[in-house]
Amino acid sequence: MHLNGGTTGASTARRRRVPRRLLGTGLAALLTTTGALTVAAQPASAVQDFVQPVQAAWTDNAEPTRSFPPEDGTLPVGTWQGASGDKHTSRAYFTFDLTPYHGQRIISARTVTGERSVADCDKPRELQLWRTDNPTAAPTWKTAPRAVEKLADLTVSGPACPASYLSTAITDAVSEAVAAKQDRLTLMLRIGEHENGLHWSRRVTTLGVSLEHNRAPDVPTRLAAGGVACRDDLFIGTTRPELQAVVTDPDVNDTGSGDRLKAAFAWWPADRPGERTEFEFSYTLPSGSRFQYTVPDGVMTDGGTYAFSVRATDQDGDSSAWSPECRFTVDTKVPPAPTVTSTDYPSEGGWPGHGGPGVPGRFTLSAPGADDVVGFRYGLFGALTYVSADAAGTATISATPTSYGTNQLYVQAVDRTGNRSPQTSYEFRVRNTAPTVTDGNPTGGLGEPRELTFAPGMENVVEYTWRLNDGEPATVRAGADGTATVTITPRKGGSNKVTVTSRTSDDLPSGTGEYHFYLASAPAISSTDFPLDGGDGPLAGTSGTFTFSPGMPGVTGYVWSVNGGEQHTAAAREDGTATVTYTPSEAGFQWIEVFSRTADGIESETASAYFVVFSHAPEVSSTDYPMYQEAGGPGVTGQFSFHPARDGVTGYVYDFGDGPQTVAAAADGTATVSWTPRSYPVDTSGWVRLKVREKIGDVVSDETEYALVIGRLAPTVTSDDYPSGGGAGGPGIAGAFTLTAHVPGSTEFVYRFGAEEKTVPAGPDGTATITLTPTEAGDNYLYLFSRTESGITSGEGVYWFPVADPT
């Protein structure tokens, strides 16, 4: 059979969610070479499947007992001529499985096929689509299924031949079959009136069905009222309960997303279903979301029993069945404040109290007058812990006080609705059971042993656990009289603390006893050079000494620092003292800190002292470069005068930022220096910070900072062809620009118009003329600076000029 060539593609696609507006004649644009549907991101709607037949076959009247599968995905339809010249007439059959769609609503169904080849494109297309009975076996010409009804003539507008895309709607046929719970649907392609004519035959691709379908949402689940999951005998403690339900939808696309859903809540008095109220949300949420609806004020009353149910609706308007109803009773009555009793810790207990810190006690909680109490909340620091009540509405709990003296147990009753009663504060007194500590060497010094005796604060004490400061705890057995003795050797100056607890033969703990003692150990600080009494101190840069004297025995060294800076060490002399030298570089209020050490690592407290260092920083002045003002510029020499703060100044150390230099002072202590900036400091926007110190012999003073701003002295630009401020010229039109230097002795200009940097010599008058050709209309910029033969550079200038738009 010789047919005209043509191609199409229509293989099975996975499920996709597509907006319904993309279906129909626009489906061809969605088919890829694999048949998959590709859509832009849209809100989830009905599920779109491209369904392939479970059976595809063609028949041949020349071989009436045979059934033939597709060849390369195509099937012949109509009359065609075989290789030997004999005539064949063929029809194509396609059977589809409908079982996955039972119980669903069919929104849209379209067949999709295409022509691979056509015998004669001058003949009109007579391709017909029929619904047939479902065959029990592969159809043959002889056993062909009965044709039930013609569904459509497959025509296509336009001159395309072969037509790669032929489609028609079969929504009613598929909907009726699914509604009738038919498992299969069989479609046939054949040629119409001229089925026996050779010129009307064609070869078609396997027929598929683009099917848009939707399942109704699932019945909502996980209903809750007032934050409590629905159950029998549910009570709610508010007349405005929040009703909740989770909505889900069985439709899921290939990305795992499902339909967006909205929920409707219905509620009514349980004994008056006719007073049903419904509320439907206006917005949608993703499948699996929880909807929450709060009942309005004034519609539910205390003691009333109500029911509610929930229904879900998807974006295609399909709704679930109403959920099973959830019933609840409103109970807003708050239980009375509970009572508390205890024989271990009675409320009327006076001095010295009962039990002790760490000794648990039992407390009985009850709520007289309440018949619906289900539990209590309690705690020594707030009603935080919950315990269920027994059938009589009482509960017994254990609580362990942590401190002696007056304690309180806070209790609230909780009823079946979750309502809490007013809080009861049960007050009781706890006995002080902490051991006492007696120091056998209360005047002992640092590093000297002390014998401590522990005495019990409760009966039947068998052991003590104690600790010095942050050391490891140790345990000692008590003697027959209940006491115990330990020896400590404190190795830390300042405040020290011993903590101790006891335990009885019944394994009851005591409270914690504490013994505090102070060991003076800080060294003394003295200095004749740096007065520590607030008197006049030395000049900055003047060296002086401090002497450290021990505040404890056995000192072998000191650790010291000034103003919280780097720590230094100094070895102690035989008498325990040490002398250190310090040279302050800055003036002002300062402090020194020091602590001492012994050979075996015992450290003292830290001592500190304060002193004042006076400034003798010089004054700086300049008329050429006034402080904080813009003046001069690259290549402009300025004079700077230094004035002493003290008599006897012999010189100055100064730095303009390019390294320190020195200058000798005149007889009156002053000095003058010249400075010529060689470039404009772009990174500091022209700011220069001159730093000056004065010298008296080898003593260097603290620093004076003199801030100044140097001018850019950037070149200026003029142009008659392209004046700044007025559009002129145009793209591709050359113009002349005159550059004028302002740095004395400038010999060239460096400019940039676009990406490339260029240079041009300056004339004797410090000017140069260049020619530029703009390439674009609108804003244009010329960047430039000048340079002398010795390398002095100006700041950068910019010349802006607009270029006229030729249009």
CB 57 within 8 A of CB 68: yes
Superfamily of domain 339-430: Immunoglobulins (2.60.40.10)
C-alpha to C-alpha distance for 127 and 799, rounded to whole angstroms: 76
Predicted TM-score (pTM) of the model is 0.50
Mean pLDDT of 55-65: 96
Question: What pLDDT does residue 336 have?
Answer: 94
Could you report the per-residue pLDDT of 280-311, keeping only the tens digit for each?
Answer: 999 999 999 999 999 999 999 999 999 999 99
Tokens of residue 583, six digits:
């040279």
The DSSP string of 8-56 is: -----EEEEE--GGGSGGGGGGGB-TT--B--------SEEEEEPPSEE
User: 186 near 134, Cβ under 8 Å?
Assistant: yes
pLDDT at 726 over 90: no
20 pLDDT exceeds 50?
A: no
Fold of 524-611: Immunoglobulin-like (2.60.40)
Would you state the pLDDT for residue 42? Answer: 41
| Number of Cβ within a 10 Å radius of residue 646 | 16
Model confidence at 158: pLDDT above 80: no
- What class, spelled out in words, does domain 619-710 have in CATH? mainly beta
Same fold, 339-430 and 716-803: yes
Nearest residue to 266 (alpha-carbon basis) of 330, 311, 314: 311
The residue whose two tokens read 């056995």 is 554
- One-letter amino acid for residue 273 of the chain: P
Average pLDDT estimate for 402-423: 94
What CATH number should be reported for the domain whose range is 436-508? 2.60.40
pLDDT digits (tens, 9 = 90+) for 337-369: 999 999 999 998 778 899 999 999 999 999 998
Looking at residue 159, what is its pLDDT?
67
Instruction: Look at residues 160, 164, 118 and name the one whose alpha carbon lies nearest to residue 3.
Output: 118
- Nearest-angstrom CA–CA distance, 658 and 664: 19
Residue 242 CB partners (closer than 8 Å, separation 6+) = 225, 226, 227, 292, 293, 294, 295
CATH fold for domain 716-803: Immunoglobulin-like (2.60.40)
Q: For residue 564, give the DSSP letter.
A: T
3-state secondary structure 672-726: EEEECCCCCCHHHCCEEEEEEEEEECCEECCCEEEEEEECCCCCEEECCCCCCCC
The answer to whether 53 and 95 are in contact (CB under 8 A) is yes
Q: Is the peptide bond before 473 cis (omega within 30 degrees of 0)?
A: no
Residues 611-665 have pLDDT tens digits of: 999 888 899 999 999 999 999 999 999 999 999 988 899 999 999 999 999 999 9
- pLDDT band of residue 697 (cuts 50, 70, 90) is confident
Confidence of residue 582 (pLDDT cuts 50, 70, 90): very high
Beta pairing class for 235-236 and 326-330: parallel
- Alpha-carbon Rg for the chain, nearest whole angstrom, is 51
3-state class (DSSP) for residue 200: helix
Q: Which of 413, 23, 483 is nearest to 213 (CA)?
A: 23
pLDDT range class, residue 27, cuts 50, 70, 90 = very low
**pLDDT-based confidence at residue 6 (cuts at 50, 70, 90):** very low
Tell me the pLDDT band of 23, cut-offs 50, 70 and 90: very low
Q: What is the mean pLDDT of the chain?
A: 90
Per the CB < 8 A criterion, the answer to whether 266 and 309 are in contact is yes
User: Is omega for the bond preceding 360 within 30 degrees of 0, making it cis?
Assistant: no
**Where are the chain's structural domains?**
13-214, 221-330, 339-430, 436-508, 524-611, 619-710, 716-803
Q: Is 219 exposed, middle or buried (0-12, 13-18, 19+ CB in 10 A)?
A: middle
- Cα dihedral angle (458, 464, 468, 474), rounded to 10 degrees? -160
d(CA 478, CA 454): 9
Q: Tens of pLDDT along 78-94?
A: 999 998 889 999 999 99
Which fold would CATH assign to domain 221-330?
A: Immunoglobulin-like (2.60.40)
137 CB-near residues (< 8 Å, 6+ apart): 67, 143
pLDDT in tens, 441-486: 998 888 889 999 999 999 999 999 999 999 999 999 999 999 999 9
